[in-house]
Amino acid sequence: MALATRTDRRPSFARTVWDSTVGKKTVMAVSGLIMLLYLVVHMIGNLKIFFGAGDFNHYAHWLRTVGEPFMHYEWTLWLVRVVLVVAVVAHAVSAYQLSRRDIKARPTRYVHRKPRASYATRTMRWGGVILALFIVWHLLDLTTGTVHSGGFQEGRPYQNVVDTFSTWYGNVIYIVAMLAVGLHVRHGFWSAAQTLGAGSRTRDRALKATANVLALLLTAGFLAVPVGVMTGVVS
């Protein structure tokens, strides 16, 4: 009699971690912190627009030459883009799968709801959708120039930014998205800290205060650019 052979294999460690709720939350937390770091750097770079077209355009060119001559022209920039795309996809997929898992675990609605938790969850969900749509629009507007108004000028980001925020819809889209960023960061930073084990009774107040400050600074910093164009400070 021939012996039956087992064809099933034990899942890899990475697969086991990813399939677990804790693993997905960890991926979501780490990818979120990567994007948060990018947002801080991006906001600081955006504020250079207040120093004039020369400085801002020079900064945009510098981003494409970072690491030269070791790194070829735009290689560092593309490396950052790849990391960001991976972080965004990992964040979105883990958030979606956690949401579906939560729905399956609770097939019937609770009789007594928790308004604060429900509000935070809804804010993160619709905020994530708004930001995903904004990223697509933002790239088509100021990177490829596909939906840009006033004639996209390659290599002249200062002029392109002024053109975008010289339209009412450009301002509305950007302002709504940045408000969503603030709310997302406010809840997401504290949630990520809890997931990664940084939270505790003694540190929770400091972590929440940090989340609030980060959200406020990022929102104000990003909104300063369209406000600057609308008020004529940047022209």
Q: Of 152, 138, 165, 150, which Cα lies nearest the Cα of 232?
A: 165
- Find the mean pLDDT for residues 150-163: 91
Q: Tens digit of pLDDT for each residue in 40-67?
A: 999 999 999 999 999 999 999 999 999 9
Q: Rounded mean pLDDT of 186-210?
A: 84
191 pLDDT exceeds 70? yes
Q: What is the pLDDT of residue 155?
A: 87
Residue 173: which residues within 8 A CB-CB, separation 6 or more?
134, 137
Helices marked H in the chain — which ranges? 13-19, 21-46, 53-65, 75-105, 115-142, 157-164, 168-195, 204-230
Residue 218 has pLDDT above 50, yes or no: yes
Long-range contacts of 214-217 (CB under 8 A, 24+ apart): 214/36, 214/40, 214/185, 214/186, 214/189, 215/181, 215/182, 215/183, 215/185, 215/186, 215/189, 216/182, 217/43
Q: Residue 16: what pLDDT?
A: 83
- Per-residue pLDDT, averaged over 129-140, amounts to 92
Average pLDDT over residues 81-104: 89
Burial of 164 (0-12, 13-18, 19+ CB in 10 A): buried
Mean pLDDT, rounded, for 209-228: 95
Q: What pTM did the predictor assign? A: 0.86
